[in-house]
C-alpha cells in the first residue's frame, strides 16, 4: 500500500462548543487514505460526510483527535500554515461549484494561482488553458461562468481543483445536481486524473452506481465509520 496522504486518529467534531446546543457530530474517526486512492464517502444525510471533508480539507478545525495531512501533523498549526498546506496539496470540488460568476472560465481556473502569486503568470495561464481543453471546454475559455451550463461549470470547477496538481482531491457531491449522463462524464474525468496524475480522491456521493466504481467505499453512519476502514475491494472490469 502507498504511504498515507491522510491519516487520522480519534477525530471528533462538535458544533456549538460551550453553548447549550453543543452537539458532537463526529465521534472519533480513525481513517487512512493512501496516496493515489480513489475512494467514495457514503452514508445517510446528516451522517457527517461534509463535516469530515471540511476537517480533512483544513477548512474547519477538529474538536479533538489527530489529523496528519501529507505527513504533517495539523494539531496546533496556525491559520497561515494550514492555508499553505491546503494550497499545496488539496483541491476542492463542491456540489455547487463556487465559481466566481462574473469571471471567465479561464480566470476561474487561474484564481488559485492569482490569489497565491498576486499575478497571473504565463505559466499558470498555459496550465489553465490546457486543463480546460482536457475537461472538454475548448472554445469556452473566455465565457463567463454564469453563461455556462451546470455541467460546464462543474468541469471548470474540476479544472480549477486540478490547477496545481494536488495530491488529494476532495469532492462533495460533485455530480449531485447533474443529470446521469453529465454526472458520469464528470466522474470519469476525476477517475482519469486520478489514474494519470496519481491524485488521491475522496468523493462524497449518494449515487450507489458511482460509489461502486470507486476502489474503496468508506461509510459514515451517525458520525461513526460503519465498518473498520475497509480494505480495497476488487474493481469491476
Ligand atoms: N455549522 C454547523 N453548525 C451546527 N451543526 C452542524 C453544522 N454543520 C453541520 N451540522 C450538523 O452536523 C451533522 C452532520 O452534517 P453534515 O453536513 O456533515 O452531513 P452530511 O452527511 O454531509 O449530510 P448530506 O448528505 O445531507 O449532505 C448534521 O446533524 C448537521 O445538522
Ligand atoms: Mg453533505
Ligand 1 contact via 95 beta carbon (within 6 Å): no
Residue whose CA is closest, atom 8 of ligand 1? 51
Q: Is 206 exposed, middle or buried (0-12, 13-18, 19+ CB in 10 A)?
A: middle
Is-contact 160 112, C-beta < 8 A?
Answer: yes
Q: DSSP labels for 92-142?
A: EE-SS----TTSBHHHHHHHHHHHHHSS--HHHHHHHHHHHHHTT-TT-TT
What's the Rg (C-alpha) of the chain?
18
Q: DSSP labels for 43-55?
A: --TTSSHHHHHHH
The region, left, alpha or beta by phi > 0 then psi within -120 to 50, assigned to residue 71 is left
Atom of ligand 1 nearest to the CA of 21: 4
pLDDT in tens, the chain (237 residues): 679 999 999 999 999 999 999 999 999 999 999 999 999 999 999 999 999 999 999 999 999 999 999 999 999 999 999 999 998 999 998 877 689 999 999 999 998 887 776 667 888 899 999 999 988 899 999 999 999 998 899 899 999 998 888 999 999 998 887 788 888 888 998 999 899 999 999 999 999 999 999 999 999 999 999 965 444 554 454
C-alpha triplet 126, 129, 131: angle, nearest 5°: 110
Domains, the chain: 37-59+89-225 (3.40.50.300)
Is-contact 162 131, C-beta < 8 A?
Answer: yes
DSSP state of 199: -
Q: Is 8 exposed, middle or buried (0-12, 13-18, 19+ CB in 10 A)?
A: buried
Q: Is 218 helix (H, G, I), strand (E, B) or coil?
A: strand
Q: How far is the CA of 145 from the centre of ligand 2 (A)?
A: 24
Q: Is 63 exposed, middle or buried (0-12, 13-18, 19+ CB in 10 A)?
A: middle
What pTM does this model have? Answer: 0.89
Q: How far is the CA of 50 from the centre of ligand 2 (A)?
A: 4
Amino acid at each position: 500500500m502507498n504511504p498515507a496522504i491522510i491519516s487520522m486518529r480519534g477525530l471528533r467534531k462538535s458544533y456549538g462548543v460551550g453553548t447549550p446546543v453543543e452537539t458532537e457530530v463526529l465521534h472519533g474517526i480513525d481513517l487512512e487514505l493512501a496516496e493515489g486512492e480513489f475512494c467514495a464517502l457514503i452514508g445517510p444525510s446528516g451522517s457527517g460526510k461534509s463535516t469530515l471533508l471540511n476537517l480533512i480539507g483544513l477548512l474547519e478545525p477538529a474538536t479533538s483527535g489527530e489529523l496528519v495531512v501529507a505527513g504533517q501533523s495539523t494539531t496546533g498549526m496556525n491559520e497561515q500554515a494550514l492555508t499553505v498546506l491546503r494550497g499545496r496539496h488539496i483541491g476542492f470540488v463542491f456540489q455547487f461549484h463556487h465559481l466566481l460568476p462574473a469571471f471567465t472560465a479561464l480566470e476561474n481556473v487561474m484564481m488559485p494561482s492569482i490569489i497565491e502569486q498576486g499575478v497571473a503568470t504565463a505559466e499558470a495561464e498555459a496550465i489553465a488553458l490546457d486543463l480546460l481543453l482536457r475537461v472538454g471546454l475548448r472554445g469556452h475559455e473566455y465565457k463567463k461562468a454564469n453563461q455556462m451550463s451546470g455541467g460546464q461549470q462543474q468541469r471548470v470547477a474540476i479544472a480549477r481543483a486540478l490547477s496545481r496538481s494536488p495530491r488529494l482531491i476532495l469532492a462533495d457531491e460533485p455530480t449531485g445536481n447533474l443529470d446521469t449522463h453529465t454526472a458520469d462524464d464528470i466522474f470519469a474525468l476525476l477517475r482519469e486524473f486520478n489514474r494519470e496524475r496519481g491524485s488521491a480522491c475522496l468523493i462524497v456521493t449518494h449515487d450507489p452506481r458511482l460509489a461502486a466504481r470507486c476502489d474503496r467505499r468508506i461509510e459514515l453512519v451517525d458520525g461513526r465509520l460503519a465498518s473498520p476502514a475497509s480494505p480495497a475491494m476488487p474493481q469491476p472490469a
